[in-house]
């Protein structure tokens, strides 16, 4: 093990400089804050640091410890200053928690008992004080332009096109006038946000200082110009071969409405990609950044690791206590905050309702009204079809179909043990007539429909799944993500939105002789069931099969029509299979509602079919044929890597718990338990990593 340290208060040796630069060149997550020119610049202004190079068994690293307010600080709540050498480290995070712990231990030794503050993309292990300090988005930009645009929300794509249509031109800054203009925009933007500006273009500044910082060689400023005026600007920290760091952005009010900043951000990505960058650290996580980067961005939570002795240790413990208390207070405030949507007070003016319970005879004319309503809802799906509800009722699984007048909507409630449920953690059962966008429903509409459902089943516990957080009066939790794809665009647009590798997989399937057909024969259903068994066996480490499966080779009689592996005979189900020389190699099953949603339900394949790209081929054919049949959306039923690769918008499904005052406390407890699950799982994983969670 070796440790090489340079303090900026003493001259730097040529050998250290050469070794430092060579190490950073082999570290894909290095950023501008490692640049020796910046380090020297900071030191010349009295901001000193220690640069450390570490080599140990299988680990070569570099990190910076800045002197700040009596502490040695590594990184920021949104940016790392510790990198591990290794050209293969191409993911959004280039360092593990175990590696961080090794480097942190050496930083503590160098501090000699002094205070150390280390910002890491990993939570500190037990025994080290700390807290979550911030969150950023790591934006993957090694994609074609069409893929980048498709990943954006539709509103951001429209902004890019609008700014292009209006004639905005993006270019690099050309001198002091551009720098002053950008500083003016920063000042205006800060004032719009109700804050005090810290940049004044009227103040004199020396080269590289204050509003002239963009003259420095590790800075990059792009501006958007319209009719000779700078209307928007975006500044980054640059480090070739590493990560591009977003640092500043500002726009005039006009440019903001024109979409100039979205265009500017898009051009930033294109130029950065051409310069060899793989990632942009967006320097935070706000709504614009999430919608602009879409599913190409990975959220990274940064944590502060703290170490000190004496009074500094007491100060750290106090800071940790305050931080944790503040976070708990925020959670309580969010729950107590008035809902954006109508609250329970809206019950005084209930919307018009018409309902049918599958335990009762269907009212005259209800079927026509229901079918008409669903036909006007792009997000209606098979689990809302009346024939599906009747089938379920014949098997003892009862429901209520609810028509709401304002908003014009349809809701399904399923009777389950302990109460009623609408939707699932990957699918909602409430749709609004004419609903647009990814989910087709607004938060206000979700709340109105949840309240309407509660009135229909008074005093019974209700779980209401929707793509919006429940109103403040209802306890709730995040239930799970799914991906929803708009399949109404032209086929070539949908094709171009796919990643090149997925296009290649689909083409490979065709070259390998796979043909996709709609399954309509018992032998195809049996073959698909056999593949389900095989796939399930591969997914289980112990090789056991799911007990719900009945192998077709057994001597048991065939199930009744529509039962078991014959479910694909039902009119709301659709099974596509990929065949080669008459043999079924893969299959994907869907539920569908004409003119509405296509729901991805199940998939299975042989190893040979999987290697030939059959699964991607089936998914693409479902999109293509579903569009031809008039379906308007595809719900992929989750957010696995495969489903994200097939494109679409990420939707977080929330569960609101209702039922009235009698259920308030039980619902609060249930919601708290569900919200704690991710933290408990993370804690358990950390124990297993350290060996403390293993059984003895």
Q: 130 and 160 share a domain?
A: no
SS3 call for 606: coil
In this structure, the answer to whether residues 130 and 149 fall within a common structural domain is no
The verdict on 464 and 596 lying in the same domain is no
Confidence category of residue 336, pLDDT binned at 50, 70, 90: low
Read off the pLDDT of residues 514-563 as tens digits, 9 standing for 90 and up.
Answer: 999 999 999 999 999 999 999 888 877 444 444 444 444 444 578 888 88
**Do 127 and 146 fall within a single domain?**
no
- Cα 558 to chain centroid, rounded: 43
472 and 502, same domain (yes or no): no
Determine which helix (DSSP H) or strand (DSSP E) holds 527, and give its type and residue range: helix 522-539
458 and 509 co-located in one domain: no
Cα separation, 410 vs 378, in Å, equals: 12
Q: Are residues 353 and 478 in the same domain?
A: yes
Query: Is 106 in the same domain as 187?
Result: no
Q: What is the 3-state secondary structure (H, E, C) of 325-365?
A: HHHHHHHHHHHHCCCCCCCHHHHHCCCCEEEEECCCCCCCC
Rounded distance between C-alpha atoms, residue 326 and residue 177, angstroms:
43
The answer on pLDDT for 385 being more than 90 is yes
Domain count across the chain:
4
* pLDDT the model gives residue 403: 93
Q: Among 484-488, 581-585, 673-677, where is mean pLDDT lowest? A: 673-677
Two tokens, residue 588? 């994907």
466 within a domain of the structure (yes/no): yes
Helix axes 366-375, 386-394, angle to 10 degrees: 120
Question: Which of 142-156, 243-257, 372-386, 557-571 shows the lowest per-residue confidence on average (mean pLDDT)?
Answer: 557-571
Mean pLDDT of 669-679: 85
Do 364 and 458 lie in one domain? The reply is yes
What's the mean pLDDT in 573-585? 95
Q: Which of 231, 262, 277 is the last residue of a domain?
A: 277
- Tell me, yes or no, whether 690 lies in a domain: no
Segment 170-183 mean pLDDT = 93
Cα distance between residue 577 and residue 562, in whole Å: 18
Determine which of 223-232, 351-360, 679-688 has the lowest per-residue pLDDT on average.
679-688
* Cβ count near 607 (within 10 Å): 11
Strand ranges inside 500-572, DSSP E: 515-518
pTM, full prediction: 0.52
The tokens for 173 are: 């800054």
The CATH number assigned to the domain holding 594 equals 3.40.630.30
**Band of residue 48 on the pLDDT scale cut at 50, 70, 90:** very high
Is residue 164 a contact partner of residue 171, using CB atoms and an 8 Å limit?
no
Round the average pLDDT of the chain to a whole number and report it.
89
Note down the domain range covering 259.
Answer: 142-277
Q: Do 540 and 519 have their domain in common? A: yes
Q: What number is the average pLDDT over the span 214-239?
A: 96
3-state secondary structure of 168: coil
Structural domain contains residue 296: no
Domain membership flag for residue 427: yes
What does the pLDDT look like over 339-357, one tens digit per residue?
444 444 443 344 557 889 9
What is the reported pLDDT for 577? Answer: 97
In a domain, 693, yes or no: no
CA distances 439 to 467, 474, 596, Å, are: 7, 21, 12
Return the higher-pLDDT residue of 557 and 276. 276
Q: How far apart are CA 651 and CA 427, in angstroms?
A: 10
Span of 451-455, 553-557, 565-569 with lowest mean pLDDT: 553-557
453 confidence band (pLDDT: 50, 70, 90): very high
Q: Is residue 574 part of a domain?
A: yes
Within-domain flag for 73: yes
Secondary structure class of 374 (helix, strand, coil): helix
Are 361 and 326 in the same domain? no
Q: 186 and 272: one domain?
A: yes
Tell me how far apart the 2 most distant CA atoms of the chain are, in Å: 91
Q: Are 180 and 201 in contact (CB under 8 A)?
A: yes
**287 occurs within a structural domain:** no
């Amino acid at each position: 093990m070796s440790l090489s340290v340079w303090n900026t208060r003493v001259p730097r040796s040529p050998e250290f400089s050469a070794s430092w630069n060579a190490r950073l060149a082999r570290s894909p997550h290095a950023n501008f804050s490692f640049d020796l020119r910046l380090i020297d610049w900071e030191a010349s202004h009295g901001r000193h640091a220690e640069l450390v190079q570490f080599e140990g068994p299988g680990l070569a690293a570099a990190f910076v410890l800045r002197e700040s307010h009596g502490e040695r600080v590594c990184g920021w709540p949104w940016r790392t200053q510790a990198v591990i050498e290794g050209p293969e480290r191409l993911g959004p995070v280039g360092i593990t928690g175990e590696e961080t712990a090794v480097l942190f231990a050496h930083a503590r030794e160098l501090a000699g008992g002094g205070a150390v503050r280390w910002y890491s993309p990993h939570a500190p292990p037990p025994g080290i004080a700390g807290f979550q300090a911030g969150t950023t988005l790591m934006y993957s930009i090694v994609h074609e332009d069409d893929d980048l645009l498709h990943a954006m929300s539709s509103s951001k794509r429209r902004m890019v096109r609008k700014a292009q249509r209006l004639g905005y031109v993006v270019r690099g800054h050309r001198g002091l006038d551009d720098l002053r203009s950008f500083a003016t925009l920063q000042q205006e933007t800060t004032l719009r946000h109700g804050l005090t500006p810290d940049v004044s273009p009227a103040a004199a500044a020396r080269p590289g200082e204050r509003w002239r910082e963009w003259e420095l060689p590790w800075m990059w400023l792009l501006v958007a110009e319209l009719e000779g005026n700078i209307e928007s600007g975006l500044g980054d920290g640059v480090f070739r071969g590493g990560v591009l760091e977003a640092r500043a952005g500002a726009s005039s009010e006009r440019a903001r409405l024109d979409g100039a900043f979205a265009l500017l951000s898009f051009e930033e990505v294109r130029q950065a990609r051409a310069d060899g960058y793989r990632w942009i650290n967006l320097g935070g996580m706000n709504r614009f950044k999430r919608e602009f980067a879409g599913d190409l961005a990975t959220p990274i939570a940064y944590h502060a690791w703290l170490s000190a002795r004496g009074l500094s240790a007491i100060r750290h413990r106090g800071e940790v206590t305050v931080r944790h208390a503040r976070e708990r207070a925020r959670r309580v405030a969010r729950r107590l905050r008035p809902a954006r949507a109508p609250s329970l007070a809206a019950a005084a003016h209930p919307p018009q309702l018409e309902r049918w319970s599958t335990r009762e005879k269907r009212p005259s004319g209800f079927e026509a009204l229901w079918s008409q309503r669903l036909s006007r809802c792009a997000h209606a799906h098979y689990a809302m079809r009346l024939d599906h509800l009747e089938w379920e009722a014949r098997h003892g699984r009862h429901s209520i179909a609810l028509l709401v007048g304002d908003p014009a909507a349809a809701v399904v409630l399923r009777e389950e043990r302990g109460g009623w449920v609408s939707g699932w953690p990957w699918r909602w059962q409430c749709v609004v007539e004419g609903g647009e966008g990814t989910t087709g429903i607004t938060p206000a509409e979700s709340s109105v429909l949840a309240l309407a459902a509660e009135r229909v089943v008074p005093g019974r516990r209700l779980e209401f799944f929707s793509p919006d957080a429940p109103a403040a009066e209802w306890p709730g939790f995040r239930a799970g993500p799914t991906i929803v794809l708009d399949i109404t665009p032209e086929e070539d647009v949908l094709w171009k939105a796919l990643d090149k590798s997925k296009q290649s997989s689909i083409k490979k399937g065709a070259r390998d002789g796979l043909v996709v057909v709609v399954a309509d024969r018992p032998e195809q259903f049996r073959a698909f069931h056999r593949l389900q068994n095989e796939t399930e066996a591969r997914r289980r480490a112990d090789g056991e099969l799911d007990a719900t499966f009945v192998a077709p080779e057994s001597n048991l009689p065939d199930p009744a029509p529509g039962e078991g592996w014959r479910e694909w005979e039902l009119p709301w189900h659709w099974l596509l299979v990929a065949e080669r020389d008459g043999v079924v190699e893969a299959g994907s099953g869907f539920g569908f509602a004409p003119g509405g949603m296509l729901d991805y339900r199940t998939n299975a394949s042989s190893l040979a079919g999987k290697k030939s790209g059959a699964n991607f081929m089936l998914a693409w054919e479902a999109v293509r044929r579903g569009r031809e049949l008039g379906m308007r959306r595809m719900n992929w039923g989750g957010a696995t890597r495969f489903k994200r690769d097939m494109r679409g918008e990420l939707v977080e499904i929330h569960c609101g718990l209702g039922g009235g005052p009698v259920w308030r406390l039980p619902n609060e407890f249930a919601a708290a338990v569900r919200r704690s699950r991710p933290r408990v799982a993370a804690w358990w994983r950390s124990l297993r990593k350290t060996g403390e969670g293993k059984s003895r």
